[in-house]
Amino acid sequence: MTVLRAGVVGCGNVAGNHAAAYRDLPGVELVACSDVDPARAAAFAARYGAAAATPEELFDLGLDVVSVCTPHPTHEAVVTQAAAHGVHVLCEKPIAIDLGAAARMVAACEAAGVTLGVLFQRRFWPAAQRIRAAIDDGTLGEPILGHASVLLHRDTSYYTADAWRGTWATDGGGVLMTQAVHNIDLLQWFLGEAVEVSAAHATVKHGAAIEVEDTAVATLRFASGALATLSASTALTPGLGTRVQVTGRTGATAGLAEYPEGAEARIDVWAVPGAEAVTSPFGPGLSADLPLSEINGSLAPFHALQVAEFADAVRDGRDPAVTGREAAKSLAILTALYASARSGRPERVPSLNEEITV
């Protein structure tokens, strides 16, 4: 097996999930990590048994793959730098905060012949795979109705801890852009191409610290005629986790629930005639909200699955499970959601191809 030389750019909260995955994956060597903060890179590299490099040095180390774990608006610069050096690149979600940037990233990687993958590790939950399979094998039939709820807790200190969080320019949005993007991705993976949305959002709890939304509601219309609803907030105490549910043309419904936030989602509703099962994601009581480090840590097994799938795709010269084009679909929906919240009218979901001009 060819040994892939891996690097990580950005050594903050989520980067450890990537570094641990590369370190533990047979056939991959974690070579180096970099950060604009050299002390942070040094401590992180030591923790994962890799070298620390400056962002300039990193791409001279003969890497095959790199993970991009920097704030969303910086994804474009790092991904295009990787492409320019012929390095395959696995970028954290959301792919970018505007569709033009996503288009430039996709175009740069396609022109350079490097593989671009984007982290949506919640697709790798067995429960999500089971719902996708029930759509594909006809158990649910063509989806006609969906729902996603993202009912989370954040302390205001979450937004004040890092300067980039909570502004339109540097975070690109609030709960929709940063948290609900995972569930929007699952909705569109299950229901297909979204064509029109209506949305409203508000800042109901964290307004002293952020200018973006902490609460939002929306309806979505899909090319197939399917409809879905979405509600999202970081204003809950305690948080109630997330749910995604799909009803198919057979009338059967399947839903998954993630509780507490970060835990592996389980099927909580399997309303398929003859095989019905319903469970509550909540135990006897509601557990306390977990610190961010624990939420990110509990996502690590699914990061590891997606990193392994990405490494296989690079070796096999095929598309990974979540390509840049695929990841741009949730960003296109987000673009329309924010446009609708601003205009007060339904808005068409733009397509990535309209943005790619090369």
Residue ranges binding ligand NAD (CB under 6 A): 9-15, 34-37, 40, 55, 69-72, 74, 78, 92-93, 119, 121, 162, 178, 296, 299
Q: Given the complex with ligand NAD, which of 238 and 297 has the nearer CB atom?
A: 297
Q: Given the complex with ligand NAD, which of 12 and 100 has the nearer CB atom?
A: 12
Q: How far is the CB of 285 from ligand NAD (least distance, A)?
A: 26
User: Three-state DSSP class for 324?
Assistant: helix
Q: How far is the CB of 203 from ligand NAD (least distance, A)?
A: 19
Q: Among all chains, which residue has been given the structure tokens 């158990």?
A: 139
Closest Cα to residue 249, out of 143, 146, 147? 143
Q: Given the complex with ligand NAD, which of 140 and 232 has the nearer CB atom?
A: 232
For residues 274 and 337, what is the distance between their CA atoms, to the nearest angstrom? 38
Q: How far is the CB of 317 from ligand NAD (least distance, A)?
A: 25
Q: For residue 273, with 0-12 CB atoms within 10 Å meaning exposed, 13-18 middle and 19 or more buried, which class applies? A: exposed
Question: Which H/E stretch holds residue 151?
Answer: strand 143-151
Q: Among all chains, which residue has been given the structure tokens 């795979």?
A: 129
Q: How far is the CB of 250 from ligand NAD (least distance, A)?
A: 32
Q: How far is the CB of 75 from ligand NAD (least distance, A)?
A: 7
Q: How far is the CB of 164 from ligand NAD (least distance, A)?
A: 7
Closest Cα to residue 131, out of 20, 16, 270, 22? 270
Residues in the chain: 358
Q: Given the complex with ligand NAD, which of 64 and 92 has the nearer CB atom?
A: 92
Q: Given the complex with ligand NAD, which of 135 and 263 has the nearer CB atom?
A: 263
> At how many degrees (to 10) do helices 15-24 and 292-316 cross?
50
Residue nearest to ligand NAD as judged by C-beta position = 12
Q: Given the complex with ligand NAD, which of 54 and 237 has the nearer CB atom?
A: 54
Answer yes or no: are the C-beta atoms of 11 and 32 closer than 8 Å.
no
**Cα dihedral sign for 289, 294, 254, 223?**
positive
Q: Given the complex with ligand NAD, which of 179 and 340 has the nearer CB atom?
A: 179
- Which tokens sit at 172? 């690109």
For residues 38 and 325, what is the distance between their CA atoms, to the nearest angstrom? 33
Q: How far is the CB of 16 from ligand NAD (least distance, A)?
A: 9
- Give the type of residue at 295: I
